[in-house]
Structure 1
Amino acid sequence: LNAPRMVQHNEPDHAAAPKGPPKPTEVPPAPPAPPTHFHPFRHAQDRSLITQAIQFLENSGFYWGPMDVDEAHVRLAGMPVGTFLIRDSTQTDVFFTLSYRAEVGPTSVRVLLKNEAFNLDGSKHTFPCLFALLEFYISSPKRSLKRPYRGAAPQTLQELSRRAVVRTFGRESVEGLPVSAGLKEFLNLYPFAI
């Protein structure tokens, strides 16, 4: 008698393979796409505003992406009052959340996008750009926001220089600066002094 042959898991079992030509099989329907964090955009302008905000945020050093409220508050707890960061909101109908160190401790507020403008939840002030919102609260008399939280890693000389150039000449003057096209492109990736 022949003993059954053991098949290694990485070897095909030819004895178990069906004989004859392969039969056409039905392709199972694709599973429905998992729900995403974000709802579809209502207007092309909203999509454009969010796309631009994300491009700038990714070069800001203070955008932390998907971070929950507890982690944001732990990071900000030992920071000076006015230290802030931007993170993805955990709410499905909101893109971003501003977390900052207030006098009473870390707090978070939703950044809303309505009618093609950004505003903080509960505020009447609206802005055409997320960074205009941040600049407003940094320069406001209350100075709720003072400095971004970029973490413990040192910033590169390029990042520091870019912000210094923008602070000195203004973002409106970048195109007129007597520098190479490549350097102008780099400056425009994050044309803010924040």
Structure 2
Amino acid sequence: MVHHNDPDHAAVPQDPLNPTDVPAAQPSPPTHFRPFRREQECVVVARTMRYLEHSGFYSGAMDVDEAHARLSALPSGTFLIRDSTQIDVFFTLSYQSAEGPTSVRVLLGDEGFALDGSRHVFPCLFALLAFYISSSKRSLRRPYRGNSPQTLQELSRRAVVRTYGRDSLETLPVSTNVRDYLQLYPFSI
């Protein structure tokens, strides 16, 4: 091994065929995510991540204590989605309940997304959220998008999706740039 501060070894050429001179392969960075079981699962998670990144309420790698601290002073029903710290779970829903901040694992199975302990399964995470927002229990009411104001573009996108519906976005008489922007997050949540 060459040490840059060692003049005796600085001029010694390394033999790439000699394994003692080749640096060991660096291990992959650790991750808490399990490997994907199927290609379709990878596609679903990648698509969900793209939408989450444009949702405004995705908090990424936030631990439970930080999520609960952010939600504790907010009205009941305020929620966010964050990365799960469980090795076999991708996302966690954290929300302010009447009893205080609560977190529930969002499970991904062969048929779609479900909250841990629930029998309701949905083809996408946003259908799951819409169901619990519109349910009679009203466990979820509004996403937590932080303290910074939302842009007029973000507010307009959600209003357009709410008015015309996700399935009608392709037929709207708008420019390609506007259509592409609408498709980045085609949900009214």
The residue number in structure 1 matching 2:26 is: 31
Letter in structure 1 aligned against 2:130: E
Q: In structure 1, which of residues 51, 57, 60 is the aligned counterpart of residue 52 of structure 2? A: 57
CA distance in 2, matches of 1:31, 1:41: 22
CA distance in 1, matches of 2:106, 2:14: 56
Q: Find out whether 1:169 has 2:164 as its counterpart.
A: yes
- Give RMSD over aligned pairs: 1.8
Letter in structure 1 aligned against 2:115: L
Query: Bigger radius of gyration, 1 or 2?
Result: 1
CA distance in 2, matches of 1:36, 1:125: 29
CA distance in 2, matches of 1:191, 1:18: 58
Q: Once superposed, which parts of structure 1, at least 4 consecutive aligned residues long, lie more than 3 Å away?
A: 11-14, 16-19
Provide the secondary structure at the position in 2 that maps to 1:126.
coil
The residue number in structure 1 matching 2:62 is: 67
**Equivalences for 1:112-123 in 2 at 5 Å?**
112-123=107-118
Q: CA deviation at 1:177?
A: 0.5
Q: In structure 2, which of residues 97, 100, 106 is the aligned counterpart of residue 102 of structure 1? A: 97
Q: Which runs of 5+ in 2 are unaligned?
A: none
Question: Which range is displaced more, 37-46 or 92-101?
Answer: 37-46
State percent identity of aligned pairs: 64
TM-score, normalised by the number of residues in structure 2: 0.90
Q: Find out whether 1:89 has 2:84 as its counterpart.
A: yes
CA distance in 1, matches of 2:25, 2:96: 46
The residue number in structure 2 matching 1:125 is: 120
* Alpha carbons of structure 1 residues 23 and 119: separation in structure 2 relative to 1, 3 Å: closer
Q: Which runs of 5+ in 1 are unaligned?
A: 1-10
Letter in structure 2 aligned against 1:134: L
Provide the secondary structure at the position in 2 that maps to 1:138.
helix
Letter in structure 1 aligned against 2:110: N
Provide the secondary structure at the position in 2 that maps to 1:119.
strand
CA distance in 2, matches of 1:50, 1:176: 27
Q: Find out whether 1:140 has 2:135 as its counterpart.
A: yes
Q: Is the 8 A contact 1:45 1:116 kept in 2?
A: no
Paired residue total: 182
The residue number in structure 1 matching 2:185 is: 190
Q: Is the 8 A contact 2:63 2:85 kept in 1?
A: yes
Provide the secondary structure at the position in 2 that maps to 1:110.
strand
Kindly provide the CA deviation profile for residues 23-67 of structure 1, in whole angstroms up to 9, marking residues without a partner as x.
525213213324322111111111111011100000000000000
The residue number in structure 2 matching 1:7 is: none
* Alpha carbons of structure 1 residues 46 and 17: separation in structure 2 relative to 1, 3 Å: closer
Letter in structure 2 aligned against 1:165: V
Q: Is the 8 A contact 1:63 1:85 kept in 2?
A: yes
* Alpha carbons of structure 1 residues 158 and 22: separation in structure 2 relative to 1, 3 Å: same
The residue number in structure 2 matching 1:47 is: 42
The residue number in structure 2 matching 1:181 is: 176
Q: Is the 8 A contact 2:111 2:121 kept in 1?
A: no
